Structure 1
Amino acid sequence: MKLLFVGDVVGQAGRQILEQKLSSLIDRHFVDLVVVNAENAAAGYGLTLSVMGELYKAGAHVLTSGNHIWDKKEILDVLDRDKRLLRPHNYPEGLPGRGYGIYETAAGLKVAVVNLEGRVFMKNLDCPFKTADRILTDLSGKADMILVDFHAEATSEKQALGHYLDGRVSAVVGTHTHVQTADEKILIGGTGYLTDAGMTGAQDAIIGNQKEPALQRFLTQLPVRLEVAKKDPLLCAVLITINEETGHCEAIERIQERP
C-alpha cells in the first residue's frame, strides 16, 4: 500500500504546485491515499472552505493541520462537519473537530490518520505521548495501518514520539518547521519516520514568507507584517510503502517536485 504525505501547503504558490503535480505523483507511484497538511494553505495562515475545495479537487483525501487551523473563523464549524479535516487531538476538550479518523482506500484497506501537536517551544497542550496512547487504544482492531502527523517545533520531541510509537504505528511524519529533513528511516519496530516533510510553497522565501519583511523582523526586532511569498514553488512530500498484512513500513522516500 502506498501513502503519500504532502508537507505544509503554504499559500497560493503551494496550492498551485499541488494542483500541477499531485495527479502525476499519484499515477507515477500508484498512490492509494493522499494526506496533505493544510494549516497554512489560505494566504499562509489557516484554511477556508474554498481552499479546502481546491485541495480536495487536486487529489487530497485527508487534510491534517496544526496550530494555525484556528486562524480562519469560518473553518471552526467545518471541523465538526468534515471528517476528512483533522486538527491536533491534544487541544483541550470541547473544541470543534477531531484529531484522528479512519479512511478506506479503493482497495478496501482502512488507514487511520492521527494529528498531534508538540509542546516544546509551542503551546502548553495535553501530552502528545499520552494522547497517542489513548488514540491507539481506541483504534485497536479498527485500522490496517496508522499514520501520525506530528506538528511540532523541536527535532528532539519529534524523534522521541517516533521511538515511543515505534512498532505501534506505520509511520510518524513531522510537520511545522517548513524545512524538509534528510533523516527518513525505518525504526527498529517497523515504523517509518521523517522529522519533517517540508513545505509545499515558495522557496525564494524564509519558511514561505517574503524575505524582506522577515529579515526586517530579525534586524530590528519590530513586529513587521509578514507576507506570503510566491516565487520558485516546490512540492515537498514523503512516499511511504506499508505492508498490508503487518501494517509496518517497508520503504520511505522523500520527494521534491518543481514546476
Structure 2
Amino acid sequence: MNILAIGDVVGSVGCRFLREKLPPLKKLKAVNLVIANGENSADGNGLTPSSVRYLLDSGVDALTSGNHSFRRKESYDTYDECEQLLRPANFPAGAPGRGYFVYDMGRTQVGILNLMGTVYMDPLDNPFFTADALLNDTPKITVVDFHAEATGEKRSMGYYLDGRVSALWGTHTHVQTADECVLPKGTGYISDLGMTGTVESVLGVQPELTIHKMKTQMPVRFDLVQDGPCKMDCCLFEIDDATGRCRSAERLELR
C-alpha cells in the first residue's frame, strides 16, 4: 500500500498545480491513496465547497484541515456532508464535521485521523488524549495528519503513536522538513510535509505583505502570490498490508 500525503494546498494556484502534477506522480509511484491538507485551498484562506470538489476531482481521495478549518461559513455544511473532508478531531463537540474517517478501498480499509496541536495554537482538547480515545478500534492501516506549530509537539506525538499507527505526518508550517523516517516500532514519520503553491512567497503569501506586517505590527491583508513557479511538497509512505507497519518514507518535492 502506497499512501501519498500532500502538504497544505495554498489557493487556486496550488489547486491547479496539484491537478497538473498529481496524476503522473500517482502512476509513477503506484500510489493507492492520496491525502492532502486543504485548509488553505481557497484564495485568502480556509476552504470552500468548490475548492474541496476541485481537489477531490483532481485525484485526492481524502482532505484534512486545521486551524483555518472554519474560516469560511460556506464550508460548514460541506464538513457535514462530505465524509472525505476532515477537521481536527479535538475540536469541541458540536463543531461541524468529523475528525476520523475510514476510507473503504474494498479489500483494504484505511483509518484517517486529523488532529491539531495546542502548543502556540488554539486551546483545543488535548490531542494525545483525543488520539487515545479514537485509536481503540481502528483498521490495521491507520494514518494521522497532525496539524501543529511546534516541532517538539509533532515529534512527541510521533513517538507516542509509534507502533499504533502506520504513518504520522505534520502540517501547518508550510516548510518541508528533512526528517522523514520510520520510527522504531514501525510508524512512518515526517515533521512537516511542506506546502503546495507558489515558490517565491512566504508560505504562499506575497513577501512584501508579510514583511510590512513584521515591521509595523499593523493589520495587513495577506494576498496570495498567484504567478510564478510552483511546487508540490509531499511524502510517500509504503505500508505493509499484512502488518500495517511502514516500510519506507520518501520525501518528495515536485516543481
TM-score category, normalised to shorter length = over 0.9
Residue of 154, 171, 186 corresponding to 1:190:
186
Aligned counterpart, 2:120: 121
TM-score, normalised relative to structure 1: 0.96
1:214 and 2:210 correspond:
yes
- Counterpart AA for 1:202: T
- Counterpart AA for 1:120: V
In structure 2, how many angstroms separate the alpha carbons of the residues matched to 1:44 and 1:190? 38
1:44 Cα shift? 3.8
Residue of 247, 253, 257 corresponding to 2:254:
257
- Counterpart AA for 2:234: A
- Counterpart AA for 1:129: F
In structure 2, how many angstroms separate the alpha carbons of the residues matched to 1:95 and 1:208? 28
Q: Deviations along 1:8-50, whole A, 9 cap, x unmatched?
A: 0000221111010000011011111000100000014111111
What is the root-mean-square deviation of aligned Cα atoms in Å?
0.9
Decide whether the 8 Å contact of 2:44 with 2:222 is kept in 1.
Answer: no
1:241 and 2:238 correspond:
yes
Segment of structure 1 superposing worse, 214-223 or 246-255 = 214-223
Secondary structure in structure 2 of the residue aligned to 1:27 = helix
Decide whether the 8 Å contact of 2:197 with 2:231 is kept in 1.
Answer: yes
In structure 2, how many angstroms separate the alpha carbons of the residues matched to 1:108 and 1:207? 38
TM-score, normalised relative to structure 2: 0.98
Listed as ranges, the matches of 1:1-259 within 5 Å are 1-105=1-105, 108-139=107-138, 143-230=139-226, 231-258=228-255
Segment of structure 1 superposing worse, 52-61 or 171-180 = 52-61
- Counterpart AA for 1:180: Q
Secondary structure in structure 2 of the residue aligned to 1:69 = coil
Structure 2 unaligned regions, length at least 5: none
Q: Deviations along 1:119-162, whole A, 9 cap, x unmatched?
A: 000011100001000010142xxx13011000000000000000
In structure 2, how many angstroms separate the alpha carbons of the residues matched to 1:205 and 1:186? 31
Q: Deviations along 1:31-74, whole A, 9 cap, x unmatched?
A: 11000100000014111111111101110000000010101111
Runs of 4+ in structure 1 displaced over 4 angstroms?
none
- Counterpart AA for 1:43: D
In structure 2, how many angstroms separate the alpha carbons of the residues matched to 1:208 and 1:216? 15
Q: Deviations along 1:174-223, whole A, 9 cap, x unmatched?
A: 00000000000110000000000000001100111001111101111111
In structure 1, how many angstroms separate the alpha carbons of the residues matched to 2:200 and 2:179? 23
In structure 1, how many angstroms separate the alpha carbons of the residues matched to 2:196 and 2:118? 24
- Counterpart AA for 1:146: T
Q: Identity of counterpart residues, as a percentage?
A: 47
In structure 2, how many angstroms separate the alpha carbons of the residues matched to 1:97 and 1:183? 32
